[in-house]
Amino acid sequence: MGLPKLKPKISAQDYLEGEKISQIKHEYLDGEVYEMAGTSIRHNRIIRNLLSRLNEKLDGSDCETFFVDIKVYVKKLNRYYYPDLLVVCGEINQNEHFTNSPLIIIEILTPKDFLRLLRLIFDVPFF
């Protein structure tokens, strides 16, 4: 019985280029790429309600909300991922597809996602 084949690591640049044309979202973890699962109607309702309330509270400030296709980049961990909602204040970095300076990151938890997210939270330094 042979050893399983290892997936080759890819560069962050190759990942970002691939995400621009991919129909499926992926997370990037230090060279390894993982396909993301879809969401549910309930999940989307929660996001919509939070987004509406956040936008009301942030009206008139220099903060913006982002959702759906905006990634967060964590340089220290060489990691890109798609949170459910973001709040970014002040000047936003020049890249159109990710931010590296969110003020707030909101992730809607399901029981299935809990352990993955718990690990992610403890690996990500607080801003």
Is residue 17 in a domain? yes
Is residue 2 in a domain? no
pLDDT, tens digit, 9 for 90 and up, residues 89-122 = 988 776 888 998 899 999 888 776 777 666 666 6
Is residue 105 in a domain? yes
CA distance 107 to 111: 12
CA distance 103 to 119: 20
- CATH number, domain with residue 105: 3.90.1570.10
Is residue 44 in a domain? yes
Query: How many domains does the chain divide into?
Result: 1
- Report the amino acid identity of residue 54: L
Q: In Å, how far are 46, 57, 118, 124 from 110, measured between CA atoms?
A: 12, 26, 12, 20
Strand bridging mode 79-81 / 98-99: unpaired
CA distance 30 to 111: 25
Sheet holding 32-35, edge to edge: 32-35, 26-29, 79-81, 71-74, 98-99
pLDDT, tens digit, 9 for 90 and up, residues 6-28 = 678 999 999 999 999 999 999 99
Is residue 6 in a domain? no
**Domain containing residue 34:** 12-123
Is residue 4 in a domain? no
Is residue 5 in a domain? no
DSSP state at residue 76: G
Residue 2 has pLDDT above 60, yes or no: no
Higher per-residue pLDDT: 68 or 47? 47
Is residue 34 in a domain? yes
Q: What is the pLDDT of residue 8?
A: 84
Q: What is the pLDDT of residue 127?
A: 42
